[in-house]
Amino acid sequence: MPTTTLGTPPTPPRAADELAAMLVDTRTRSLALMQDILEARELGPRLAIVNPPLWELGHLGFFHDHFALRGLHGLPDYQLADAERLFDSSSIAHDERWALPLPSRDETLDYLSRVQQAMLERLPDGMASAAQSYVYQLTTLHEDMHGEAFLYTRQTLADPAPELGTPAPEHALGDRPAGALPGDVAIPGGRHLLGSDAGVPFRFDNEKPPLEVEVAPFSIARAPVTNREFAAFVEDGGYARRELWSEAGWQWREQQALRGPIYWRRDADGHWQERCFDRWRPLAPHQPVVHVGWHEAEAWCRWAGRRLPGEAEWEVAASRAPSPDGGSLAPGKRRFPWGEAPPDAGRANLDAWRLGRLDVAALPEGDSAFGCRQMLGNVWEWTASPFAPFPGFAPELYRDYSAPWFRVGRYVLRGGAWATRSRLAHNSYRNFFTPDRQDILAGFRTCAR
């Protein structure tokens, strides 16, 4: 783990009780996602795309311990002997994590509890300092990311869906099938400030400094590509047609021996089914396709005569509004597609309460000003943009968050998925994965060529 001697970036101070509530909430969710898995298998299979459950849980405690208790509050010792040697993801190679002398499950859970209690005790009454506000949000959002990973790991390993309890009233659901949402919207070109400015409550280092870009006019789909639309590609031999794939994509497809999305199969009558956690279900035609990698998205686009949006185009469609005459972009930028109000269950499928996707026509209250739907939540959306720094980028407290991954074959995803926490998702948040990753909750939206 990198040192914490860089200082904390300027961050608007937040109320201490808000930081405390976030900290408790993310831990409650982590334990709900992991308790039954820990009881079944503390280490689990050795796969490149998963961590040993016991190690990953201990890593969460270490991250808070390292950055908050030691780095911010100056505690001289970790709250668990050998914590750095056991749980530092920056220095422990992935394959080594199964062979470590890890503490027992009870000792690991006790470590997490003690670290959290120590952090809560050090919050003041009233407003937290800017430094506390930054570090407590950093460590909470880091745990939120692992919570999403816990969910798609359960999918990878065909575990049952977790029991998350009953959502609070503000997360009341009550959804029904909503159907498809075909068509494109035309977006005028113009100047756009890509990334996050100092007005947001928290921004990661790769979102800044904001970069002014010129975006040409384009047309983008109102909704992500659906299961039905992707099935047409599969049924047209898309996975067997070399001309639809890039060189790297074809090599990957052959290595994987894929004939369709990884969690699809035909039933006895020839109808498509999809595995959701440990159960096979009829393929929902109007839900967005998910668990497809960038290579698959690119091949579908070539088959359909479409293309993936650049991340600047995606952000313009999500965050800007048309001028009164419709011929240009109006000044200003929205934090969320619908405006400045925080996400709720009526606008975005986030926070995992639904434990899956909705039809692409659902949640019209969450539309962007241009009429694009579900740009936050439901599925992450691949873009055409390689993950790269904005000019003037500087690594921050968690130095390994972004810098090691620039220009090493990762692509930017935008928008968040049904499992993403709402406090993490906003129009300028950048996710990034390698093009082969099918385990993540990713689909895609397309542009006209």
- Give the tens place of pLDDT for each residue, 390-435: 999 999 999 999 999 998 899 999 999 999 999 999 999 999 999 9
CATH 3.30.565.10 for the 172-449 domain, yes or no: no
Distance between CA atoms of 145 and 300, rounded to whole angstroms? 28
Here the tokens at position 138 are: 């950093």
pTM of the entire predicted model: 0.95
Q: Is residue 82 scored above 70 in pLDDT?
A: yes
Q: Is residue 6 scored above 50 in pLDDT?
A: no
**Dihedral (CA of 406, 53, 156, 415) sign:** negative
Q: Which value, to the nearest 10 degrees, does the dihedral of the CA atoms of residues 231, 237, 238, 239 take?
A: 100
Split at pLDDT 50, 70, 90, the class of 172 is low
pLDDT computed for residue 11 by the predictor: 86
Here the tokens at position 274 are: 């999809």
Here the tokens at position 371 are: 């009429």
Q: What is the pLDDT of residues 309-349, one digit of tens each?
A: 999 999 999 999 999 999 999 999 999 999 999 999 999 99
Q: Is residue 292 scored above 50 in pLDDT?
A: yes
- How many C-beta neighbours within 10 Å does residue 116 have? 21
**Which sequence spans correspond to the domains of the chain?**
16-156, 172-449
Element (H, E) at 303: helix 294-304
> At residue 220, what is the residue type?
I
Distance between CA atoms of 328 and 325, rounded to whole angstroms? 8
Helix (H, G, I), strand (E, B) or coil at 19: helix
Instruction: Name the pairing type of β-strands 442-444 and 380-386.
Output: parallel
In angstroms, the Cα distances linking 44 to 41, 93, 277, 278, 439 are 5, 17, 16, 16, 16
Q: Omega of the bond prior to 209 within 30 degrees of 0, cis?
A: yes
Q: Omega of the bond prior to 167 within 30 degrees of 0, cis?
A: no
Show the CA angle centred on residue 149, arms to residues 55 and 287, nearest 5°.
160
Q: What is the pLDDT of residues 223-247, one digit of tens each?
A: 999 999 999 999 999 999 999 999 9
Distance between CA atoms of 245 and 247, rounded to whole angstroms? 6
Under 8 Å between Cβ of 209 and 195: yes
411 forms beta bridges with: 386, 433
Split at pLDDT 50, 70, 90, the class of 10 is confident
